């Protein structure tokens, strides 16, 4: 009997030694999960008798970040379908409320500095740097934006046209010689070269250009990372790429300071270097702004250019109408030099660019930090939370765009006030200062495509990935042919 009792005690002890180590982590997990939800439930503003929006905060610490990374834009589409125009989530270390719909977006963007202030995830702020205009606030933002706008004035844009046209023609002729290219990577190379030449002033041989572009892609691919700068992490890789890019930008700045400008052309960086008084930026600010210019001028323009290339390949009648408009203005010959004022007279080309940006906006959303709790669609948006206003879903659902799935440039002949329904460049005091340059690049691209080559997509039903910007998952394979003429081609890359 004693042996049986001893055996039972021993067995029970063994069971406890196995069960307790297994149960403790489970208990801790359940407890942390409970505390996670309790914390964000009590973070509601007691002054507002409104519930938080529906949605899920996901797992402790990581929230729903992993689902977001794996699903991309579908993450937001699925939750919007289930929860509506306003829902909560937890992304990249921040409790976040995602908002769509023109009425809601209008309230947010007009509430700058009263309800919300600019905000980007920690990884973006670290990689873009303290000098970036995108997350400057107050007087600093106004001063830097005023300085930057001078680099996108009418005179500045006029001076950029010959450089943009030269680069675009070089790339299109290269594609025609090669016959078969992957459109999205090529548009990235083209947009990066335009940004390098026009915005920062880099003018480098092709191998060096490709090497710098590779580094820049590492920087870009890790912008939206978990905010942990650990060895091997995405943020760590991005910070190393940032260091290399800033070193190259500093070299460029020093060259501008010590060398005479014989060309007479001033890129955006040089125009900002020449500012005086309160608008003048120091070296560190100039480097951060230079990096921000490369980001804004490359990633979004590359995505939009690839979308334009794809849409025009599917709509040959649109290409024919562009060609007709060019002929009306004496621009059918691709030897014709373009000017900013003449480009702005091409109303159908302008409509084509607008429609491309409506169908596929290169930026899916903007971020804000809530500084005063307020109501939105019957829910409270608490102070301290991150708010992401949707551009893509807002444009897709806008009632003013009837038959929204259709690519129809002529719709813009009837639309007079699209504000807050159409916002590929944002709106309000933080609308993209370089939007006129972006549209100019796309217009020149559409013009040169229409008058110098023919092309066709080799896969018209490619899956679209939306991070970090919309792009064809297969790289957008395209077959190019040059329009036959009797004159030689002189451009090279």
In the prediction, which pLDDT does 23 show?
62
- Helix or strand run (H / E) with residue 464: strand 464-465
CA–CA separation, 190 and 186 (whole Å): 6
At 39-97, the pLDDT tens digits run 555 477 888 889 999 999 888 778 888 888 788 778 888 899 999 999 999 987 789 99
For 192, list phi and psi in degrees, rounded to 5: -65, -40
Q: What DSSP designation does 275 have? A: -
Q: Alpha helices, DSSP H only, in 259-406? A: 268-273, 283-314, 316-328, 340-343, 347-359, 392-397
In the prediction, which pLDDT does 8 show?
39
From residue 257, alpha-carbon distances to 163, 252, 357 in Å are 22, 9, 38
| Bridge partner list, 63 | 59
Region 152-179 average pLDDT: 95
* Least confident interval from 22-26, 164-168, 379-383, 419-423: 22-26
- pLDDT-derived band at 325, boundaries 50, 70, 90: very high
Only one residue has tokens 């010689």, namely: 177
Q: What CATH code is assigned to 133-482?
A: 1.10.630.10
Instruction: Go through the chain and tell me how many residues it has.
Output: 493
In the prediction, which pLDDT does 157 show?
94
CA–CA separation, 326 and 421 (whole Å): 30
Neighbouring residues of 306: CB distance < 8 A, sequence distance ≥ 6: 183, 184, 187, 471, 472, 476
CA–CA separation, 160 and 349 (whole Å): 19
Q: What is the mean pLDDT of the chain?
A: 85
In the prediction, which pLDDT does 262 show?
66
Q: What DSSP designation does 379 have? A: E
Q: Is-cis flag, bond preceding 414, omega within 30?
A: no
CB 463 within 8 A of CB 472: yes
| Bridge partner list, 379 | 376
In the prediction, which pLDDT does 348 show?
98
At 446-471, the pLDDT tens digits run 999 999 999 999 998 888 888 778 89
What the block records as the tokens of 474 is: 């297969």
Only one residue has tokens 């970040």, namely: 65
Among 200, 180, 175, 177, CA closest to 190: 175
* pLDDT of 269 higher than 90: no
CB 223 within 8 A of CB 127: yes
In the prediction, which pLDDT does 20 show?
52
At 360-380, the pLDDT tens digits run 999 888 889 999 999 999 999
Percent of the chain with pLDDT strictly greater than 90: 48
Region 205-226 average pLDDT: 86
CA–CA separation, 300 and 42 (whole Å): 39
Q: In the chain, how long is the greatest CA-to-CA distance?
A: 110
CA–CA separation, 83 and 68 (whole Å): 16
In the chain, DSSP finds a helix count (H) and a strand count (E) of 17, 12
- Backbone φ/ψ region at 113: left (φ over 0), alpha (ψ -120 to 50), beta: left
- Regarding predicted confidence, which is higher, 81 or 26? 81
CB 182 within 8 A of CB 475: yes
- Helix or strand run (H / E) with residue 455: strand 453-457
* Least confident interval from 35-49, 202-216, 236-250: 35-49
- Regarding predicted confidence, which is higher, 140 or 154? 154
For 292, list phi and psi in degrees, rounded to 5: -65, -40
Query: What DSSP assignment string belongs to 181-244?
Result: EEHHHHHHHHHHHHIIIIII-----HHHHHHHHHHHHHHHHTSS--S---TTSHHHHHHHHHHH
For 400, list phi and psi in degrees, rounded to 5: -70, -20
Report the 3 state secondary structure along 405-445: CCCCHHHHHCCCCCCCCCCCCCCHHHCCCCHHHHHHHHHHH
- pLDDT-derived band at 426, boundaries 50, 70, 90: confident
In the prediction, which pLDDT does 2 show?
42
Among 401, 183, 414, 405, CA closest to 302: 183
Strand duo 94-99 + 386-390: pairing: parallel
DSSP three-state, residue 364: coil
- pLDDT-derived band at 210, boundaries 50, 70, 90: confident
What is the value of pTM for the model shown? Answer: 0.85
Region 428-452 average pLDDT: 92
Percent of the chain with pLDDT strictly greater than 70: 89
* pLDDT of 324 higher than 80: yes
CB 164 within 8 A of CB 198: yes
* Least confident interval from 181-185, 213-217, 264-268, 338-342: 264-268
C-beta atoms surrounding 295 within 10 Å: 22
Region 421-430 average pLDDT: 87
């Amino acid at each position: 009997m004693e042996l049986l009792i001893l055996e039972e005690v021993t067995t029970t002890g063994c069971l406890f030694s196995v069960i307790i180590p297994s149960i403790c982590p489970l208990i801790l997990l359940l407890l942390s999960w409970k505390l996670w939800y309790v914390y964000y439930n009590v973070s509601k503003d007691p002054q507002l008798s409104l519930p938080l929006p529906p949605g899920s905060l996901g797992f402790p610490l990581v929230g729903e970040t992993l689902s977001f990374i794996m699903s991309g834009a579908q993450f937001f589409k699925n939750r919007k379908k289930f929860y509506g125009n306003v829902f909560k989530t937890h992304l990249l270390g921040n409790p976040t409320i995602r908002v769509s719909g023109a009425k809601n977006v209008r309230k947010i963007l007009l509430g700058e500095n009263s309800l919300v202030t600019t905000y980007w995830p920690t990884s973006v702020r670290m990689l873009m740097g303290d000098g970036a205009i995108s997350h400057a606030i107050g007087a600093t933002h106004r001063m830097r934006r005023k300085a930057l706008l001078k680099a996108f004035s009418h005179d500045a844009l006029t001076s950029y046209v010959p450089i943009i046209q030269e680069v675009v023609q070089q790339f299109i002729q290269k594609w025609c010689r090669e016959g078969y290219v992957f459109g999205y990577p090529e548009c990235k190379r083209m947009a990066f070269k335009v940004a390098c030449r026009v915005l920062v002033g880099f003018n480098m041989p092709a191998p060096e250009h490709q090497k710098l572009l590779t580094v820049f892609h590492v920087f870009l691919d890790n912008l939206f990372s978990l905010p942990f700068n650990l060895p091997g992490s995405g943020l760590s890789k991005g910070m190393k790429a940032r260091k290399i890019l800033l070193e190259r930008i500093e070299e460029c700045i020093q060259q501008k300071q010590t060398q005479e400008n014989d060309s007479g052309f001033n890129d955006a960086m040089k125009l900002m270097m020449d500012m005086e008084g309160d608008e003048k930026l120091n070296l560190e600010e100039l480097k951060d702004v230079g990096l921000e210019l490369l980001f804004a001028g490359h990633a979004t323009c590359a995505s939009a250019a690839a979308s334009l290339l794809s849409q025009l390949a599917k709509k040959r009648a649109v290409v024919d109408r562009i060609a007709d408009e060019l002929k009306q203005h004496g621009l059918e010959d691709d030897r014709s030099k373009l000017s900013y004022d003449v480009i702005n007279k091409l109303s159908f080309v302008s409509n084509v660019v607008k429609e491309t940006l409506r169908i596929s906006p290169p930026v899916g959303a903007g971020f804000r930090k809530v500084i005063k709790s307020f109501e939105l669609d019957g829910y409270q948006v608490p102070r301290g939370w991150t708010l992401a206003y949707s551009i893509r879903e807002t444009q897709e659902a806008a009632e003013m765009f009837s038959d929204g799935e259709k690519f129809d440039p002529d719709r813009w002949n009837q639309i007079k006030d699209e504000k807050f329904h159409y916002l590929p460049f944002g709106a309000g005091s933080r609308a993209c200062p370089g939007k006129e340059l972006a549209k100019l690049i796309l217009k020149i691209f559409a013009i040169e495509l229409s008058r110098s080559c023919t092309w066709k997509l080799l896969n018209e039903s490619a899956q679209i990935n939306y991070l970090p910007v919309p792009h064809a998952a297969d790289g957008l394979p395209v077959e190019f042919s040059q329009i036959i003429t009797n004159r030689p081609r002189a451009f090279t890359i």
